[in-house]
Structure 1
């Protein structure tokens, strides 16, 4: 029984109903920890203390503050951390003042209805709930704030993951003709590499080896480091860019002032080009879908597509990759070959059988004449 330190924080160790209890005082001040310990011991002696998790006294806002500071910021990329902050803003608006013990599937269901009424898409709502669920799991496993996740069994929103938009050859011709030179180079490069918008805009010459025709990606969505091969079109774009820019340092794709292209300016120019080319319902990210779709339609196996596009799983590749009717035609034509072969098999067997019976008949005839 008594106090002990775990890191900078003082913890209590005492016996309750014959069972040893360890609980944090949530302070690094020894004098304050002693007062908390004395209060708990008094409640235990008077029968007023109950073994309740710390989370029953914590609010949702305190949980998200701890999650952002101790998990999201140190463990995720800056962009993913900013995304977490954006997602948590919607959650805090609804749950911030609630104690964790008050959370329930019913409240979360109301939250989903509220977000749908605000116009949030199912995937956005699922991302928000996934963040909330992860924080609550940390409360159970790592922080010992809760014994169980109160929303663990809440159902997700139904999302249509199938991507049905990629650039057709005729649309590509019109889009490139409607784009300025700098935008056309980025479009061709995106379709040839499958790089994301941010990866293209952040691309620097130090990541490129033109002699080996390779591209090095260090910081990316899946936190891996990859060296990717470059095809002829991508290499052609880079050689064109290198002729007007020194190979040492700096971004590959530049604005008029020689700096990094702003993402909003890129999207604005891209939308204008799509409108001019009459390419409808097409986003810049769909260039990445086009990259995957064309690889699959060319007969490239899904594992290779996954590695080239740097997706985490084959199932993610299946969402992006599609077949056009012509790429599926060899599959149905295989049936024609099978049917033809089956129909020819009896005829061949009959011919073979007739040949076997001719020989003894001819011998019999010959024998008759003799």
Structure 2
């Protein structure tokens, strides 16, 4: 049984019934930490220490560390990078608190502090949602606590319904400004609506050119998704495939044979947009361009939803305003009303 330092705070380490236990003392003062450790020793001897609920001794830092290891690491580079950014703000405030000490009052103060730091409302919501997910795990699977304080805090509404798309002429300009290795990636993204990570990580064993199909085992929603291929995608993949000596492996490679990364795609696409004077257009907006073009050409929202892999139709509704012609037929039921009202003939058929 002893003490060790972590981030200037003293922690206890001891063995109990064959299990190694590590707990924070919550102090940077060694003398106080030694006093706390002495009390714990007495409670261990009396068999009282572990009668306390774990939420009173487990810290937020412990919870977030375990959640990060079990639920974040290995999923995606983007997810890991985003988690590190969120932890950079969460841990200095909540890290040394026990789970029981995190209250709605503390969370509300955190929201206010982040707003004063000019953090975007969407960013604050994501940070709280990250903390909320960790608490849910601690309740359901680890049995570290019984309450999720984040549930009792208003998260606020964030408008994520961004629909930014470009016309074919503008897209052609961006395409021509892209380096050669990026052009087929842009073409596949534009005409499949796939997310960046799905395109970049696409494997040849997921592509069936004979049937004109891409099959993904896992999407962002965790669902299996089959995307039928149109002619621009088929021709693009046929042009790429002869230069690849293997029947499997990544579809898109660098000149040195290494797989293309998502960051490479984002940076190069941004440069191409800047080169042709297109502002505020991201690689993900190719997905919006795909969906918008379908809706504008008369494809119903249900089929667009299926192609995008949306579980909830409300996500697809953001494109509904792009198809006013689809509603024109509905209002034609009133086509004769003007004549009836102006001539008074409606009075004969609809007396008041």
Normalising by structure 1, report the TM-score. 0.73
How far apart in 1 are the matches of 2:17 and 2:215? Answer: 45
> Take 1:112 and 1:318, find their aligned partners in 2: how far apart are those partners?
30
The offset of 1:132, in angstroms, is 1.2
Larger Rg: 1
CA distance, structure 2, for counterparts of residue 315 and residue 307 of structure 1: 12
Q: Which residue does 1:58 correspond to in 2?
A: 58
Query: C-alpha distance in 2, partners of 1:203/1:305?
Result: 21
Question: What residue number does 1:39 align with?
Answer: 46
Q: 1:27 to 1:254 in 2, by over 3 A?
A: same
TM-score, length basis structure 2: 0.76
Q: Distance in 1 between matches of 2:238 and 2:213?
A: 13
What is the aligned partner in structure 2 of residue 323 from structure 1?
321
Q: Could you say if the C-alpha distance between residues 304 and 274 of structure 1 is closer, same or farther in structure 2, counting changes exceeding 3 Å?
A: same
Q: Secondary structure at the match of 2:182?
A: helix
| Offset from partner CA, 1:299-322 (integer Å, 9 cap, x none) | 323332222112231122224x25
Q: CA deviation at 1:265?
A: 2.9
Query: Offset at 1:140?
Result: 3.4
1:157 is matched with which residue? 156
| 3-state secondary structure, aligned to 1:260 | coil
Secondary structure class of the residue paired with 1:227: strand
- 2:106 aligns with 107
**Partners of 2:327 and 2:191 in 1: CA distance:** 27
Determine whether 1:285 maps to 2:292: no
| Aligned: 1:29 with 2:18 | yes
**1:339 aligned to which of 335, 342, 346:** 335
Alpha carbons of structure 1 residues 306 and 346: separation in structure 2 relative to 1, 3 Å: same
Unpaired segments of 5 or more residues in structure 1? 1-24, 44-48, 350-370
CA deviation vs aligned residue, 1:275-320 (integer Å, no higher than 9, x gap): 222211100111111112222222323332222112231122224x
Q: Does 1:298 align with 2:297?
A: yes
Unaligned runs of 5+ in 2: 1-13, 22-41, 346-352
Residues 216 and 226, structure 1, Cα contact 8 Å, conserved in 2: yes
Query: Aligned Cα RMSD in Å?
Result: 3.4
- Residues 167, 209 of structure 1: alpha-carbon distance in 2 compared, 3 angstrom cutoff: same
